[in-house]
Amino acid sequence: MTDKRGSGPSPVDIHVGSRIRLRRTLLGMSQERLGDALGLTFQQVQKYERGTNRVSASRLYELTHVLDVPVSFFFDGLEGATAPRGLAAGGNFAQAQQLFGGLSDGMGMPGSELTLFSRREAVELVRLYYQITDPAVRRRVLNLIRTMVPAE
Residue 1 falls inside a structural domain: no
Do 53 and 77 belong to one domain? yes
The answer to whether residues 34 and 71 belong to one domain is: yes
Phi, psi of 62 (to 5 degrees): -60, -40
Q: What is the pTM of this model?
A: 0.59
Helical pair 120-131 and 11-26, crossing angle rounded to 10 deg: 40
Does one domain contain both 98 and 51? yes
3 within domain boundaries: no
In a domain, residue 6? The reply is: no
- Contact partners, residue 82, CB within 8 Å, separation at least 6: 11, 12, 15
Q: What is the pLDDT of residue 130?
A: 83
CA 20 – CA 38 distance, rounded (Å): 13
Q: Are residues 89 and 137 in the same domain?
A: no
Same domain, 97 and 43: yes
Domain membership flag for residue 103: yes
Query: Chain-centre distance of CA 62, in angstroms?
Result: 15
Residue 77 confidence (pLDDT): 81
- Parts of the chain with a pLDDT under 50: 2-3, 81-108, 110-112
Q: The domain that contains 36 carries what CATH number?
A: 1.10.260.40
> Could you give the number of structural domains in the chain?
2
Question: Domain range spanning residue 133?
Answer: 119-152
Pair 23, 46 in one domain = yes
Q: Which of 81, 75, 118, 119 is nearest to 97 (CA)?
A: 75
Under 8 Å CB-to-CB from 54, ≥6 apart: which residues? Answer: 1, 10, 13
Percentage, residues of the chain above pLDDT 90:
32
Q: How many CB atoms lie within 10 A of CB 45?
A: 25
What pLDDT score does 114 carry?
54
